[in-house]
Structure 1
């Protein structure tokens, strides 16, 4: 499925926040600023994920799109996992990455996405 299909699938999930300005999906912000903001809010698991999600694309910055692609990659890895322990670890990682994406979407919608 192409990038447009991924976006449609993500936005179709009823429990996820809807990104009001879809152009913000690929808007890159300072990875360090996102991590600092998450830590300030006490979101240590999401801060950990923000430190490395999408780092192969861009080490210094982070976008909602990068996090969403990371979530999709973890989903694929879960399908290929060989042990229950591996599946559980990946499920935990996926949940934290989804929560990171939701928080970034909320920040984008309210004009609080770090620069």
Structure 2
């Protein structure tokens, strides 16, 4: 806080002096090394959304969400079981992150980006196509979770 007269500084008897008030440093607190907390990694918003829906299939081991699987092998396994829609979704879900591998978390993030694309879509046909693609991506995520829980992924 500083005090100065309105018309400028004065000198002599009765002059108002500038007064600086500062907070005293706590004893030993300023130079003392502070403990650093380990940085907690924020959980992926897609995973939080998925786990907050109790009717969805859930993984027994949370580490499986980020475990990469060979995309080509997953597509072949889905086609062998006659799941062509899931195989189509597996071909390009998360391909912008990794072209060769796919994980459950990538599929869930892909489904979340489709929600944003639906909001930006200009025509009803485009919204409908994106809605079907999102449903297929969520079905693929459920299938991958089911296979991961069974040890097949």
**TM-score scaled to structure 1, two decimals?**
0.92
Q: CA deviation at 1:3?
A: 4.2
1:102 aligned partner: 142
1:103 counterpart SS class: helix
Corresponding residue of 1:27: 67
4+ aligned runs moved over 2 Å, structure 1: 2-6
Aligned to 1:80: 120
Q: How does 1:1-115 map to 2 (within 5 A)?
A: 3-113=43-153
Decide which structure has the larger Cα Rg and report it.
2
Aligned to 2:3: none
Deviation at 1:111? Answer: 0.2
Q: State the Cα RMSD in Å.
A: 1.1
Greater fraction helix = 1
Higher relative contact order (CA 8 A, sep 6+): 1
Unaligned 5+ runs, structure 2: 1-41
Structure 1: state its 5+ residue gaps: none
Output the CA distance in 1 between the equivalents of 2:124 and 2:96. Answer: 27
